[in-house]
Chains A and B, each alone.
Chain A
Amino acid sequence: MSIKTLTAGVEMRQISKRFDAVQALADVNLELHPGEVHTIAGENGSGKSTLLKILGGVIRPDDGQIFVAGEEKEFNSVRDAMKYGVTMVSQELSLVPNLGIAENVFIGHNQSKNKLGIDWKDTDRRALEILKRLNISVDPRREVSTLPQHEQQLVEIARALSFDTRVLLLDEPTSSLAPNEVDALFKVVRQLREDGVAVVLITHRMSEMLEISDRFTVLRDGKFIGTSDRSGVNENWLIDRMVLNKPKESARRNFQSSGRKAVLEVKGLTDRAGAYSDISFEVREGEIVGLAGLAGAGRTELVETLAGVRQRSAGKVFVNGAEVGTNSRTALKSGIALVPDDRREKSTIHEMSVRDNLMLSQHKFEITHRSKKSEEKIIKSWVEKFSIKTSGPDALIKSLSGGNQQKVVIARCLQTNPKILILDEATRGVDLGAKAEIYEILRNLADKGLSILVVSSEISEIFEISDRILVMHAGELSANLDRSKTSEAEVVAAATGVK
């Protein structure tokens, strides 16, 4: 006790960070006290993860200072951060897939040693102890790549617990966990709080943050909005600060499914790598279908197969009754266009212009001349239609904000005249204004008869936009619900596999 714990507070002052065109953080402050659970709240793209990554030493701020126990310190690397007792569990898994669980937990630090080198038995024993606290029982020698995603997430957390941590950063630790796993995790978090550890939490689930947090800091569009103790906070307090202009409750579409023909029919589709199996459903003309589920349920893999960039082992796909081929070009020709879940990794080509990115799905014989004039005319019409903010068709796509980049990708898909448009987490990392605009665009398209399949992990988004809701759990379709006759609770139950 406890001079050390009392003075182990961390303070971030005036932190700024910019990625290309996006000011991710501007003069943000964060104060952490020992023995508290501190939630950073904010919408997608508000800069929460960036702030955590800076404190974790993963990325360096452009500007600002970090104080540990009142002294300014440099956080230039993960190792620096660890030196001051800061450990991070990031959203993206950072395990070594072909090593065992125990090896991953203790990788790079604190290995048990005997005369011959590493004492594997003792390593296994200590790993098991930590895993037990998290309420999972697995063979510590098992290769991490063979674990389902939510268990990998727990291994990642176990790894953080293996350090002598003063500040634990948890970036969406619960997004792929089942309710009982969340309970176990929170039990550990409460224990850590009693031990004087400062736990920083990011979660999208309002109920979770209200359940466990002692303090809240709210970010919006990379700016510091406010900080408060638990006593002053309720759901409305948070929403008022997180959301600038609450998206007005838009008029629900009144969709009549009877008499509409099925545009997309999926029959018994099974993934070659086993991410999902025996999926059958259909999407009717002008219908917006939401596909809900937890991370790792196989939704992304399913839609990527439909778009022809992932292999199937069985099943057929039809568009307007005609069977669709198995590569991306034939899928596009049949009228299936996909806006994928990860813009940076899967859809934009950063070093290319807006024009090249938007026209990327236009194909002719390879040595054909691309007419700059006619392409620019097309670009101009999309820029006006979607109010895309860009300095011109030759601006690099990376100079646009996330929402505008996404509009370019949607325009690229629509330029192919699709019969069915699939959007996977289309509003992730998109600011609220653009989010509302994208919803509006989708509704208008559906009203004109386009069939749309929307994959989203945000239940509110699913309810906001869908006419019908499909739910996936562990690679299977677990529910097919009419939006007007179901509840969020029912969707959550189907997504988590509760019968």
Chain B
Amino acid sequence: MKFRLPSLSTLPAWFGVLVLEVLLIIVMAITQPVFFSGSNLSNIVRSSAIPIVLGIGMTYTILTAGIDLSVGSVLAFSGILLSGIIEFMPRYLAVIVTIALVTVIVGGINGTLIGRLGLNSFVVTLGTLGIFRGIAYLVTNGTTRSIDTGPLINKIGDGNIGPIPGPLFVVVILAGISIYILRSTYFGRDVYAVGGNEFAAKLAGIYTSRVKMNVYVISAFCAGLAGIMQVGRLSSAAPTAGAGLELTVVAGVLLGGTRLSGGVGSIWGTVIGLLFLQTVSNSLTIQGVSSYWQQVVTGVLLGAAVLFDRIRLELSGRAKSKEKK
């Protein structure tokens, strides 16, 4: 037989998740017509957008063998910051200033401690997770502030730009830029190199601490942007926003084939992984399954994906050993 299936080991890791996503959509479309309605599909896209924006930043940090657990808190901090300055300047300027401040402050702290001083990313971002959530509560005294968002912020977070949902627009631009950076620039190569083998990267003349610093700045930027999107979606800024979201985001990134040990992964994988998690959660809701179960399902899916990836690599290794004989 001439025809051969592509070898398991040459397919990208996220391919399996994509297959599952398509199967899930088909099954749901047949069994629950309401799932396939335009409003529900656009709902899935809208609710996926914020996790995906955070996931894009997270992908950079995990690719360098780090992690950024502070993103959920920073999302809330960003919204609160916006609510504080929006009265004093035009809205577009308030958005720019907010994102810039979050990027500099949060990225500066995480990046300096992890990149420059070489501290453990898990510990540092667990610390900033607490700090920025705490600040959000302190400033608001625990209350939710409603914000008159105006058209710009609303469009970024919830509305439509032409026929396209605004959040989708943001995701496409951000993902497009990141795919380009990671694939085709010196910085992108450096990110993979640092995560793949830090000593080798350093020996090759890469400024590894600068690369590590930069990925936390990028992650902070994404979290700042996601904070604005959240305000646009809810027309308010709550100190509770995005609580626990970092875990969903990490799960989606890993589901998309990015390796926690660094050096392997892609933005495509992250987008598909998080889209899949949102589709699952949406499907379960439509099926009337309790939201408590959704967390269980997410956990099981993550475990299954990692296990599958491991088996895939193991099998391809053995197959090659046999082939050679």
Contact = CB atoms under 8 A, between A and B. Distances in A.
Interface of A: 16-18, 20, 23, 26-27, 62-63, 307, 309, 328-329, 331-332, 338, 340, 345-352, 356, 359-370, 372, 412, 416
Contact of B187 (A23, A63, A367, A416): A367
Contacts of A351: 192, 196, 263-264
Contact of B204 (A20, A350, A360): A360
A62 B317 contact: yes
A367 B192 contact: no
Contacts, number: 105
Contacts of A356: 189, 192-193
Contact of A332 (B181, B205, B214): B205
B305 interface: no
A340 B199 CA distance: 10
Contact of A348 (B197, B205, B322): B197
Contact of B203 (A62, A346, A370): A346
B211 to A, nearest CB: 8
B272 to A, nearest CB: 19
27 contacts: A27-B325, A62-B318, A63-B321, A307-B203, A328-B205, A346-B199, A346-B200, A346-B203, A347-B197, A349-B197, A349-B200, A350-B196, A351-B196, A351-B263, A352-B189, A352-B263, A356-B193, A360-B200, A360-B201, A360-B204, A361-B204, A362-B186, A363-B205, A367-B185, A367-B186, A370-B189, A416-B205
> Among the interface residues B187, B203, B206, B325, which one has the most CB atoms of the partner chain A within 10 A?
B203
Given A62-B317, A360-B200, A363-B205, 10 more contacts: A63-B322, A328-B202, A351-B196, A352-B193, A356-B189, A360-B206, A364-B186, A366-B186, A366-B190, A367-B187
Interface of B: 181, 184-187, 189-190, 192-193, 196-197, 199-207, 214, 263-264, 317-318, 320-322, 324-325
A326 to B, nearest CB: 13
A360 B193 contact: yes
A228 B59 CA distance: 56
Nearest to B324: A23
A62 B187 contact: no
Given A307-B203, A328-B202, A369-B185, A17 B321 contact: yes
A328 B203 contact: yes
Given A328-B205, A349-B200, A412-B204, A16 B263 contact: no
Contact of B186 (A17, A329, A332, A365): A365
Contacts of B185: 366-370
B196 A349 contact: yes
B268 to A, nearest CB: 16
Contacts of A348: 197, 200
Nearest to B189: A356
A356 B193 CA distance: 9
A171 B320 CA distance: 27
A454 B204 CA distance: 19
B205 A345 contact: no
Contacts of A359: 189
Contacts of B187: 366-367
Contacts of A416: 205
A142 B214 CA distance: 43
A347 B200 contact: yes
Contacts of A364: 186
B200 A370 contact: no
Among all A-B residue pairs, the 6 with the closest Cβ atoms? A366-B187, A18-B321, A62-B321, A349-B196, A360-B204, A329-B205
Contacts of A63: 321-322
Contacts of B181: 367
> Among the interface residues B187, B200, B320, B322, which one has the most CB atoms of the partner chain A within 10 A?
B200
> Among the interface residues A331, A361, A363, which one has the most CB atoms of the partner chain B within 10 A?
A363
A258 B193 CA distance: 43
B186 A363 contact: yes
A351 B196 CA distance: 7
A59 to B, nearest CB: 12
A349 B263 contact: yes
Contacts of B263: 349-352
A465 to B, nearest CB: 22
A362 B189 CA distance: 11
Contacts of A307: 203
Contacts of B320: 18
Contacts of B196: 349-352
A350 B197 contact: yes
A137 to B, nearest CB: 37
Contacts of B190: 366
Nearest to A61: B321
Contacts of A346: 197, 199-200, 203
Contacts of B184: 369-370, 372
A27 B324 CA distance: 11
Contacts of B186: 362-368, 370
A351 B261 CA distance: 12
Contacts of A370: 184-186, 189
A312 to B, nearest CB: 16
A365 B190 CA distance: 12
Given A23-B321, A365-B186, A366-B186, A347 B192 contact: no
A280 to B, nearest CB: 24
A368 B192 CA distance: 16
A27 B189 CA distance: 40
Given A329-B207, A351-B192, A351-B264, A16 B199 contact: no
Nearest to A356: B189
B121 to A, nearest CB: 20
Contacts of B205: 328-329, 331-332, 361, 363, 416
A283 B217 CA distance: 44
A329 B186 CA distance: 15
Nearest to B318: A62
Contacts of A365: 186
A345 B199 CA distance: 8
Nearest to A331: B205
Contacts of B200: 340, 346-349, 360
A402 to B, nearest CB: 16
